[in-house]
C-alpha cells in the first residue's frame, strides 16, 4: 500500500517537471477572467487559492478518517510528495514568466489550479467510498458515471474539472468526456538503474444511460515533444466542444472535441462512422472552431 502511494506521487512530480515546453499559467483556464489590473488579478487569485487550499485540507481530512494508522501514514507520505511536486512545478512556471514582474502571478495561478485538481481527486475518492454513487459535490450532484469511472480506473488521476458533455455521434443524447493523467516509470540504463518516466493524457468517453451501468471507452495521448501520431507536449491540457466543417454528415457527425495544448497543435476527437478518431490539428484539413 505504501509503495503504491509513494510511487504514484513521486511519478507525478517527475513527469510534470520533465514535460516539454512552456506550459505557463496564462495558458491555463483562468480563475479571474474579468479583472482589469494586475493588482485585481493578484487579489482574485489569492482569494481562489485560499478557497481551494481550504477545500483540499477538508478533502484530505475526510479521506483520512477511519483509516488504519498504516494507511494514514501512506496517505500522509503521498500528500507530502504531492505538495513537493506542486511547489516545484509552480516555481518553475514562475521562472518562465514574461515579463519577470508577473512571476508571482504565474505561480499563484499554477498553485491554485493544481490545488483544485488535488482537492477534486481526494473528494472523489471519499465520495466513492462513502456512497458509491450520487454523493454531493461542491458544484453539483456528483454524476453516477464519475463514480463508475473512478472505480474502474483507480490508476488514472482524473481531472474532474475538465468534464464536457457533447453529442458526438448525433444520436440525440450527449456523451460525457473527461481527461486524466497516467504515469509509467521505465529503467533506461540497467547498469545505473537510471529511471525516467513517460506520461499519457487519458480521454474517457462515456455513455450514461438512465438505467444500467455507464460504459466508457479510454483513449491515450502520449506526452512527448515529438510523435508521428496524435500527442500532446505537456500535461496542462483542456478540452472544448466545437465542430468540424465540410464533413459528410451521412457517415460522420460535425460535433467534435478539441484537446488544447499550450505547446503542441491541438488534437481533435470526433466520431467517424462507428468509431471515435483522434487526429492532430496540423493533419486535419478544413478544421475550424465555430
Do 190 and 277 belong to one domain?
Answer: yes
Is 210 domain-assigned?
A: yes
Do 114 and 150 belong to one domain?
Answer: no
Do 92 and 219 belong to one domain?
Answer: no
Task: List Cα–Cα distances, 62 to 50, 68, 86, 123, in angstroms.
Answer: 18, 14, 21, 8
Do 62 and 120 belong to one domain?
Answer: yes
pLDDT of amino acid 24: 38
Is 290 domain-assigned?
A: no
Do 108 and 237 belong to one domain?
Answer: no
Do 125 and 151 belong to one domain?
Answer: no
Do 108 and 229 belong to one domain?
Answer: no
Do 100 and 197 belong to one domain?
Answer: no
Task: Tell me which of 14-18, 40-44, 52-56, 154-158 is least confident.
Answer: 14-18
Q: How many domains does the chain have?
A: 2
The boundaries of the domain holding residue 74 are: 2-130
Comparing 118 with 161, the larger pLDDT belongs to 118
Domain boundary among 130, 156, 178: 130
pLDDT of amino acid 171: 86
pLDDT of amino acid 214: 86
Q: pLDDT exceeding 70 applies to what percent of the chain?
A: 73
Work out the number of other CB atoms within 10 angstroms of the CB of residue 1.
11
Is 180 domain-assigned?
A: yes
Q: In the predicted model, is pLDDT for residue 10 greater than 60?
A: no
Mean pLDDT over residues 161-182, rounded? 88
Comparing 3 with 217, the larger pLDDT belongs to 217
CA-closest candidate to residue 82, choices 25, 15, 178, 27: 15
Is 288 domain-assigned?
A: no
DSSP string, 34-95: T--SHHHHHHHHHHHHHHHHHHHHHHHHHHHTT--HHHHHHHHHHHHHHHHHHHHHHHHHHH
Task: Tell me which of 22-26, 73-77, 256-260 is least confident.
Answer: 22-26
CB-facing half-sphere around the CA of 153: CA atoms within 13 A: 21
Which pLDDT band holds residue 22 (cuts at 50, 70, 90)? very low
Domain boundary among 97, 130, 163: 130
Do 122 and 151 belong to one domain?
Answer: no
226 SS3 class: coil
Do 115 and 7 belong to one domain?
Answer: yes
Is 201 domain-assigned?
A: yes
Domain boundary among 106, 130, 154: 130
Is 111 domain-assigned?
A: yes
Is 137 domain-assigned?
A: no
Comparing 269 with 120, the larger pLDDT belongs to 269
Is 195 domain-assigned?
A: yes
Which pLDDT band holds residue 187 (cuts at 50, 70, 90)? low
- Model confidence pLDDT, tens digit, residues 251-265: 668 899 999 988 889
Do 210 and 233 belong to one domain?
Answer: yes
The cell numbers describing 193, all together, are: 538503474
Do 104 and 187 belong to one domain?
Answer: no
Amino acid at each position: 500500500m505504501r509503495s503504491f502511494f509513494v510511487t504514484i506521487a513521486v511519478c507525478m512530480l517527475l513527469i510534470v517537471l520533465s514535460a516539454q515546453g512552456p506550459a505557463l499559467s496564462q495558458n491555463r483556464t483562468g480563475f479571474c477572467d474579468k479583472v482589469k489590473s494586475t493588482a485585481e488579478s493578484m487579489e482574485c487569485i489569492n482569494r481562489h487559492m485560499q478557497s481551494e487550499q481550504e477545500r483540499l485540507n477538508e478533502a484530505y481530512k475526510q479521506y483520512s478518517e477511519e483509516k488504519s494508522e498504516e494507511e494514514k501514514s501512506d496517505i500522509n507520505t503521498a500528500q507530502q510528495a504531492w505538495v513537493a511536486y506542486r511547489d516545484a512545478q509552480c516555481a518553475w512556471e514562475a521562472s518562465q514568466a514574461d515579463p519577470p514582474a508577473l512571476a508571482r502571478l504565474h505561480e499563484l495561478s499554477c498553485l491554485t489550479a493544481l490545488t483544485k485538481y488535488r482537492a477534486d481527486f481526494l473528494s472523489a475518492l471519499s465520495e466513492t467510498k462513502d456512497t458509491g454513487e450520487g454523493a454531493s459535490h461542491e458544484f453539483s450532484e456528483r454524476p453516477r458515471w464519475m463514480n463508475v469511472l473512478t472505480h474502474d480506473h483507480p490508476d488514472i488521476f482524473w481531472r474532474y474539472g475538465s468534464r464536457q458533455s457533447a453529442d458526438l455521434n448525433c444520436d440525440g443524447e450527449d456523451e460525457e468526456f473527461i481527461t486524466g493523467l497516467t504515469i509509467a516509470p521505465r529503467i533506461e540504463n540497467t547498469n545505473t538503474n537510471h529511471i525516467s518516466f513517460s506520461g499519457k493524457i487519458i480521454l474517457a468517453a462515456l455513455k450514461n444511460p438512465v438505467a444500467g451501468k455507464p460504459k466508457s471507452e479510454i483513449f491515450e495521448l502520449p506526452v512527448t515533444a515529438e510523435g508521428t501520431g496524435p500527442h500532446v507536449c505537456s500535461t496542462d491540457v483542456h478540452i472544448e466542444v466545437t465542430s468540424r466543417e465540410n464533413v459528410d454528415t451521412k457517415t460522420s457527425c460535425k460535433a467534435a472535441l478539441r484537446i488544447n495544448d499550450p505547446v503542441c497543435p491541438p488534437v481533435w476527437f470526433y466520431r467517424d462512422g462507428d468509431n471515435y478518431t483522434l487526429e492532430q490539428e496540423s493533419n486535419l484539413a478544413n478544421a475550424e472552431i465555430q
